[in-house]
Copies of this chain bind each other. A is one copy, B any other.
Amino acid sequence: MSDYCVGIDIGGTTVKCGLFKLNGELLEKWEVPTRKVDAGKFILSDVASELKNRMEAHGLTNQNLRGIGLGVPGPVEPDGHVSVCVNLGWKDVWPAKEMTELMGGDVVCKVGNDANVAALGEMWVGGGRGHSSIVAVTLGTGVGGGIIVDGKIVAGAHGLGGEIGHMHVRDDETEYCNCGGRGCVEQAASATGIVNEAKRVLASSDEPSAMREYGDELSCRIVCDCAKAGDKLALRSLETSMEYLGRGLALVAYVVDPEVFVIGGGVSRAGAYLINLLKVYFNQHTPLSNNRPDIVLATLGNDAGIYGAARLVLD
């Protein structure tokens, strides 16, 4: 009886692993350090070895597993090939095939990009539960996206799919983004972008603001907290950031029109306050219809990757 599945989210520092029932119930999770030496060739064997221990402790064999899903922090080709994964030191790796071999040859393994896989997790048992078409947006140091249509990841044909952090939304941006563009969603609405915008607003005004006392220590969390507390400049800058994010989501809605946007990442800890602000601008930029995708908070946090990786093998 294959009543279990395993989700493995490979990060640059640690590999997160989870053992699940097929209904999405997490039985146990653990972490394995990411050994990047020698072009990362030990990463998967370390994971497999610890997984076998955990399975043994639960009295499980390969026959009990529906499969093992892997999330990789970089582009994954449609056939499962990873040409290069800078964060892991990988070159020319077939993670799913290798994992199957490491587990003895009789376990189905699948692989996907980590951002896409996390989106799948949020769809399965997170903020997007009950939906089959979602766009997951991760607001962290950068802005990442994962597009799910009819329950399937839309990875795209050239590794550009879901790169919504690099959609151009702001003409008056003067700095360049890492991507080489200017005026990307990421520059306005990532944690970094929110702090940069707040600093600009502070520099361009003499008005008092609680943000001033933090100087270079100003963080996205402080900007959001100050805005919530009614600080005028904090609110003004956060409104600007959310306006550009709202524009970006409107653009996404005019392409794939998901049932729901699921917003996660560190910035989303500002919670319903942030979502409500974002909705104002999203609605303004989707005048075509009053029937629109909803915007909700992600609920799985850093575990979205293991959930989604496990979900990969249920199709």
Chain A residues engaging chain B, CB cutoff 8 angstroms:
133, 145, 147, 149-150, 152, 154-164, 166-168, 171, 179-181, 247, 250-259, 285-289, 291-293
Contact = CB atoms under 8 A, between A and B. Distances in A.
B158 A255 contact: no
A293 B158 contact: yes
Contacts of A287: 179-181
B168 A171 contact: no
A167 B286 CA distance: 9
Contacts of A167: 250-251, 254-255
Contacts of A179: 287-288
A246 to B, nearest CB: 11
Contact of A157 (B254, B255, B258, B288): B258
B152 A133 contact: no
Given A288-B166, A288-B180, A259 B157 contact: yes
Nearest to A163: B254
What DSSP secondary structure best describes chain A's contact surface?
loop
Contact of A256 (B156, B166, B253): B156
Contacts of A254: 160-164, 166-167
A256 B154 contact: yes
12 contacts: A158-B253, A158-B291, A160-B253, A163-B254, A164-B255, A171-B171, A180-B287, A180-B288, A181-B285, A181-B288, A252-B255, A255-B256
Contacts of A286: 160
A311 to B, nearest CB: 18
A145 to B, nearest CB: 8
B150 A152 contact: yes
A284 to B, nearest CB: 9
